[in-house]
Structure 1
Amino acid sequence: MPLAAFNPFTFKDYLNLPDNTNIQVIDGVPYNMSPSPSRIHQKLIVELVTIINNHLKANKLPCEVYSSPLDVIFINEGEDIYSSKNIVQPDLFVVCDKSKLTDKGIVGSPDFIIEIVSPSSAAIDYVKKLNLYNQFKVKEYWIINPNTFKILVYKLQGNNEYAEPEQFTFDDKLKIEFLNLIIDFKPIKEGVINA
């Protein structure tokens, strides 16, 4: 649910918020973030960050993996960083262009993003962030639902738009195409259930 209307809310406004304010901004509208993710949510992030980071190091890939809370600032043409109206904190993301790494966060599109759905974030993850990540050409966007053990995978096509999502479960193996990394979700599911 949107906070009180600010027209439009920018990164400059965001920087002036009190330190304990947890919001994301999409199209100039600030949204409250969930106070604290569930234990399963956090366990999934730790497992996935570990798998991806190990793959990046083992293959000496020039990419880095990050998890929330770290700001990703999307900038429209003609904007500077302070006038950006899109500041989010994806659950997990990979950046391969080191020029996007700044002290303020990541400026520009990550190559890969995962959002792990919580009841309070579903509408934002499935709709608003999907549209935002498509607009800013994130190569792959995965939406993981730990309650249903389902995963939606969106990939940019030749027309720079997401195709219909591929649908998977935690019994499947998924491939992050541009990293040539296959992730087997079955042991992840077992680790989460038995944790």
Structure 2
Amino acid sequence: MRVNSTDLQNAFGKYLSLLEKEDIIITKNGRSVAKLLRYNEPDYFLVHEESKNYKTTKRISYEEYMDLVDSSDQRYELIDGENYLLATPSFKHQVVVNEISGHFYNYFRGKSCRSLTSPFDVRLFGFATKFEEDPNVVQPDVVVICDLDKINEANKYEGIPSLIVEVLSPSTKGKDMVMKLNLYMKSGVLEYWVVDMESKSILQYSFSPERDIDSLKSLGEEDTIESSAFAGLKILLGEIFAEI
């Protein structure tokens, strides 16, 4: 399939779904400039963020995932049946997370929504009507939740976050920029920030009620990011990256 860059930007979610069937050639001014390929994660029972040593063709159920979580001190995520062992974040990663969460804390203090940082399980179920039909469990670096009534009796959150922030690490780029982007979009998240420490930039995704990409902004160190979901929530990127 061939698609021009403008159409791709305006309907990225649509073309992301079409990647399941075929590759996409991106054109600009009539010339082919890039190619989108489907990302195929190796089919491992346990996928390490930094290394992939445990090989098997088996995917796991939510019950198997919980058995592993309950019997281990490690942190895991479950995405589309794949179990991911989370790597320990770096010092710089945590500095950036703390800077963002500090701004969020000041903004949301006294408001009905809450800003939380990892480790905190967020249980998502994509286009399904309930968690049991498509169980996914992630631990975003920063998450804003406004549906506090979705915290169940077991003190687990099973709702739809309003805003999610992931700070990229070399070992998580593929997962954060492809798998989690698709999961957050189809689960009804309103806004997703992908923070790149290397380039000191942020990709800001806003999702539509139809669960497609409504807008995408690429912001640099001199820019200010302004939330599309929360009026008045804005941060100068230079402040986010000042200490790294």
- Confirm or deny a common fold (TM above 0.5): yes
**Partner residue, 2:5:** none
Report the secondary structure of 1:106's partner residue: coil
**If you compute each CA radius of gyration, which structure gives the higher value, 1 or 2?**
2
Q: Which amino acid aligns with 1:55?
A: Y
Mapped pair 1:50 → 2:102 = yes
Structure 1: runs of 5+ lacking an equivalent: none
Kept in 1, the 8 Å contact 2:187–2:211? The answer is no
Flag the 1:51–1:120 CA change in 2: closer, same or farther, 3 A.
same
Whether 1:187 and 2:239 are equivalent positions in the alignment is: yes
The letter for the 2-side match of 1:165 is L
Q: 1:78 to 1:157 in 2, by over 3 A?
A: closer
The answer for the alignment partner of 2:92 in structure 1 is: 40
TM-score in terms of structure 2 length = 0.70
Distance 1:176 1:78 in 2: 28
The correspondence of residues 3-22 of structure 1 with structure 2, limited to 5 A, is 3=46, 4-10=56-62, 12-17=63-68, 18-22=71-75
- 1:106-145 to structure 2, matched below 5 A, reads 106-145=157-196
- Distance in 1 between residues matched to 2:162 and 2:203, nearest whole Å: 17
Instruction: Name the SS of the counterpart of 1:179 in structure 2.
Output: coil
Structure 2 segments unaligned to the other structure (5+ residues): 1-41, 47-55
Q: Kindly report the root-mean-square deviation, in angstroms, between the aligned alpha carbons of the 2 structures.
A: 1.9
Displacement of 1:189 in angstroms is 1.9
Aligned to 1:98: 148
Query: Which residue identity lines up with residue 150 of structure 2 in the other structure?
Result: K
Whole-angstrom distance in 2 between the partners of 1:78 and 1:139: 18
In 2 relative to 1, CA 182–6 (structure 1 residues): closer, same or farther, beyond 3 Å?
Answer: same
Relative to structure 1, the CA distance from residue 158 to residue 84 in structure 2 (aligned partners, 3 Å threshold; closer, same or farther) is: closer
Cα drift, residue 108 of structure 1? 2.0
Contact 2:168 2:176 in 1 (8 A): yes
Displacement of 1:84 in angstroms is 4.7
Structure 1 runs (4+) deviating above 6 angstroms are none
- Larger deviation: 163-172 or 44-53? 163-172
Q: 2:208 aligns with which of 154, 157, 160?
A: 157
